[in-house]
Amino acid sequence: MLDLGFVRGNLELVEEKLRARGADPAALLGDFLTFDQARRKAITNTEKAKARLNQLSQEVGALKRTGLDASSKMEDIRKVKEELDGMGMVSLALELGFRDLLASIPNLTRDEVPVGLSEADNLTVKTWGEKPAFDFEAKPHWELGKSLGILDLERAAKLSGARFAVYMGAGARLERALISFMLDMHTEKHGYTEVLPPFLVNSKSMFGTGQLPKFEDDLFKVEGSGLEQDISRNLSPGEFVFVPGHEGMFVVKRVIGSDVEVQLCKPKESTYQLTVPKSTLLYQRKLYLIPTAEVPVTNLYRDEILDEARLPICLTAYTPCFRAEAGAAGKDTRGIIRQHQFQKVEMVKFTRPEDSDAEHEKLTRNAEEILETLGLPYRRVLLCTGDTGFSSAKTFDLEVWLPGQQLYREISSCSNFESFQARRANIRYRAAGAKGKPEFVHTLNGSGLAVGRTWLAIVENYQQADGSVLIPEALRPYMGGLERITKSEVQ
RNA sequence: GGAGAGAUGGCCGAGCGGCUGAAGGCGGCGGUUUGCUAAACCGUUAUAGGGGCUAAAACUUCUAUCGGGGGUUCGAAUCCCCCUCUCUCCGCCA
């Protein structure tokens, strides 16, 4: 989330940066200034009335204590309250609408980020390693994995459907070895602290890192079986609720004071509307499967004020990642490039604003060192404005060489979010010395690395003429000394 | 799942209808003392938003905030209801 004052004062810059991302500033910002003014006007009005109310209450108190008649003051209070009731809905609507607007503006990309709309405009910063030269035709990992008996996509489809994988034997061990190897390298060599977070998180966490509200369709949701009542919840139109005494699921149309207008939406043969008190509604508790460890790990310090002396905080976490990626149907359907579930080792940093650039470089290097230690050729790419993620100000992708497909493929994405996530998640630090107003930290993260893609990169890059796969030196201790994966007996 | 206890500022902890944005302590910051450090002493120290003033700050004023939401009341940290979370005991369980 951007700072409101900043947007107000730098509207032209914000519009320009939005255009650079390929977004339409008019659609996103609307008439920002008019909206902002209306909102502020409403705030001023209601606050003035509230001030008057507080004033009158004091006076009533004073009168009552001295035993005098306060009925005329009470009459004044009644009038102001009526006035306030009338303004309430307007300012609430404005406030909520404005907050949504602000929350749906993507981060501003840095000036050094190349302007462009697609992958084609990304800038290759460096290239490392020699592509392996084979005197035979390199095979893709799905063929090698199948013939070696270490990857079973057919049976995975039986279990869970498309875009899931079963690893067997040395294949499973390789995945596990990679996780341990990466975590050890980050904790022992790069100075990160290991974290094992929950894989299910609430919507507040998803908001904090920017997945919600815009990208709900990309997430897997888990809804509890039991219905709960939570009248403290703020309802928003479009939300699903249950009404006791009525069959089916209802959708919220609008909120009128303490009442809610709801419409039956499932089952849908015959729909009807109801207006019921908010306090009678039931909800289903909803959790989200994490799409990356970034979500739980960054939100670790949500609503906290950190000591400057603790910064930078460098954390690394292994988690499975779950992505629905509704928009990616038909893309990368072969092999394990794009899965609904994959494993990843993630690096997350919390830094002072002035350090985030240097820490971004270090973090990217830490990911590169994994690739280098494994002997996998890669290149570093600076993403262009249109390819940079919603929350990010600047992103480097690392792309590994895949000989089976003759192309470079993203294996890590290292981003500097600056204060964008910190503002959403309210993560601050107090500077020692200076007059100690808490300031937002900068957050960063990067894959170090995507384990599934590392697995397939090793299989493709280390394949031999006989169809076996050599294990990179650095990984052998994690494989019980195994030097080569050969055809498995059990299939 | 059942029964009970609790949630207050950066931290600890008091308050249980108005004078409480909140005592006291710790920590932080500024100062006095000191050859330096420590100690002692004095002062200061919440966040967000709106208005005023400003080039911008500083400053000033108002509003909100004592886990979250709602209610009672002229007035709520304080009373009532609901939710969330934490702790203790029982049950179940990897």
The separation, in Å, between residue A357 CA and nucleotide B63 C1' comes to 39
* CA–CA separation, A263 and A338 (whole Å): 38
Which residue numbers in chain A have pLDDT < 70?
89, 224-240, 244-245, 252-260, 265-270, 277-280, 282-284, 326-327, 432-436, 489-491
Contact call for residues A287 and A305 (beta carbons, < 8 A):
no
Hits for CB < 7 Å against strand B across A residues 180-219: none
* CA–CA separation, A161 and A155 (whole Å): 9
Q: Comparing C-alpha atoms, which of A202, A201, A184, A206 is closest to residue A193?
A: A184
Which residues pair with residue A289 across a beta bridge? A200
* CA–CA separation, A83 and A329 (whole Å): 54
- Check residue A95 and give its pLDDT: 77
Structure tokens at A342: 């994959």
Q: Which nucleotide is nearest, taking the CA of residue A258 and each C1'? A: B70
* CA–CA separation, A476 and A403 (whole Å): 22
Q: What is the pLDDT of residues A420-453, one digit of tens each?
A: 999 998 898 887 665 567 889 999 999 989 999 9
The letter for the amino acid at A52 is R
- Check residue A429 and give its pLDDT: 87
Structure tokens at A281: 């509604």
Q: Comparing C-alpha atoms, which of A232, A406, A212, A359 is closest to residue A290?
A: A212
- Check residue A483 and give its pLDDT: 96
The letter for the amino acid at A48 is K
Q: Measured from the CB, is A474 under 7 Å from any atom of strand B?
A: no
- Check residue A197 and give its pLDDT: 92
Q: Tokens 């201790």 appear where?
A: A477
Q: Which nucleotide is nearest, taking the CA of residue A47 and each C1'? A: B63
Helix (H, G, I), strand (E, B) or coil at A290: coil
Q: Comparing C-alpha atoms, which of A429, A448, A437, A446 is closest to residue A354?
A: A429
Strand A240-241 relative to strand A313-322, pairing = unpaired
Q: Which nucleotide is nearest, taking the CA of residue A226 and each C1'? A: B1
Q: What is the pLDDT of residues A305-318, one digit of tens each?
A: 888 888 899 999 99
Q: Measured from the CB, is A437 under 7 Å from any atom of strand B?
A: yes
Q: Measured from the CB, is A99 under 7 Å from any atom of strand B?
A: no
Structure tokens at A144: 């090698």
